[in-house]
Amino acid sequence: MTTYTAINLVKRPSSGPISSELFEVVQKDMPNVAPGEFLVKQNHMSLDPAMFGWMSPDTNSYIPPVALGDVMRSSGIGEVVESNHPDFNVGDRVMGMMGWQEYFLSNGQGLNKADAPLPDETILSIFALPGLTATQGYFNVGNPKKGETIIVTGAAGSVGSIVGQLAKADGLHVIGVVGNEEKANWIVNELGFDSAINYKSAGLESQLEKLAPNGIDLFFENTAGPIQSLIVERMNAHGRVMVCGLIADYSKEVPSPGPSWVSVLKRRLTVQGFTMPDHFHEVPALLAKLTPYVMAGKIKHRSHILEGLESAIDGLNLFFTGENKGKLIVKL
């Protein structure tokens, strides 16, 4: 093989779905591997909602956007196929931000070995961005206490499903918000959530009242949408809101307004936004917190596998439609 395929970002998204016009599929020459470098063949790439932020032009965002013309940013897992680096050998499995491409040339910086005897999908679903994000938000922002009630939006998503399972393992009362009945069944019957609400169903206010009779102490927000304000209206004094994602707003020209601050004041809420790049230095501590739950079999996951590099483009729209079943992963 003398060339490989990569996908560059060439235009920034505005409102509406992600279209193929934003990207350019290119063939690149296989690189020479200089001393201190190694070449990775990527096997699985992760699709994450954070990617909408990386494509956006907003310079106030938490991580510089992908430059136009550069390969699209993403995390993935692969195998070293050629090495002139003392610490990485052919056959090593590695993970990191390798982008939308079949091969990745590295000097080792930012890549880690993935030694755990687990499938690629499990590593990308639990021990990568989703699990780290869930762990940081739930423990360090939310400060949860046994017996409290937590509501998680995007509850069947990669982050939300882990948050709910951590909370359930900790003895909280856990309500998940999802977009269809299949997901509702999955989080209740497979993951052990106490209850589920389909945000597309009628009577959300009375459903919340019934499912959270003692009010809501913690709100882990992944989605935005009209249920946001209804949840805030049912929060208890000193409630905490972990703002992790707002997927319903990412495809809008103007994001929706947030809940009135009258509730924030009367209920003395703390609403806190957080993103993982602020906490990459805490990854070892986060993994130390998360791993015992995983080892105890408390954290289940499921993957939605897309086939082939170019499937990533349209795959991003599954975040908007919610039609994915499980963590979105592209198999190369």
Non-local (6+) Cβ contacts of 294 within 8 A are: 126, 127, 131
Nearer to a copy of itself by Cβ, of 116 and 261: the residue is 261
- Comparing CB distances to a copy of itself, the nearer of 29 and 253 is 253
Select the residue interacting with a copy of itself from 152, 188, 224, 290 (CB under 8 A). 224
One-letter amino acid of 185: N
Neighbours of 189 (CB within 10 A): 10
DSSP string over 140-202:
IIT---TT-EEEEESTTSHHHHHHHHHHHHTT-EEEEEESSHHHHHIIIIIS--SEEEETTSS
Q: Which stretch binds a copy of itself (CB under 8 A): 71-79, 96-104, 220-228, 301-309?
A: 220-228
By CB under 8 A, the residues from 27 to 56 that bind a copy of itself are 53
Our CA angle for 319, 320, 322, nearest 5°, is 65
In the set 39, 72, 111, 243, which binds a copy of itself (CB under 8 A)? 243
Nearer to a copy of itself, 218 or 313 (CB): 218
Residue 213, interface with a copy of itself (CB under 8 A)? no
65 binds a copy of itself (CB under 8 A): no
Residue 30 DSSP symbol = P
User: How far is Cα 114 from Cα 92, in angstroms, rounded to an integer?
Assistant: 8
Per-residue x/- mask for a copy of itself, residues 66 to 85, rule CB under 8 A? --------------------
Q: How far is the CB of 249 from a copy of itself (least distance, A)?
A: 5
The nearest distance, CB 246 to a copy of itself, in angstroms, is 6
Interaction of residue 245 with a copy of itself, rule CB under 8 A: yes
| Subset of 259-318 contacting a copy of itself (CB under 8 A) | 259-275, 278
Note whether 189 and 181 are within 8 A (CB): no
Give, in degrees to the nearest 5, the angle at Cα 216 between 147 and 198: 110
Q: Is residue 253 exposed (0-12), middle (13-18) or buried (19+ Cβ within 10 Å)?
A: exposed
The site for a copy of itself (CB under 8 A) is made up of: 53, 58, 60-62, 221, 224, 228-229, 237-238, 243-246, 249, 255-275, 278
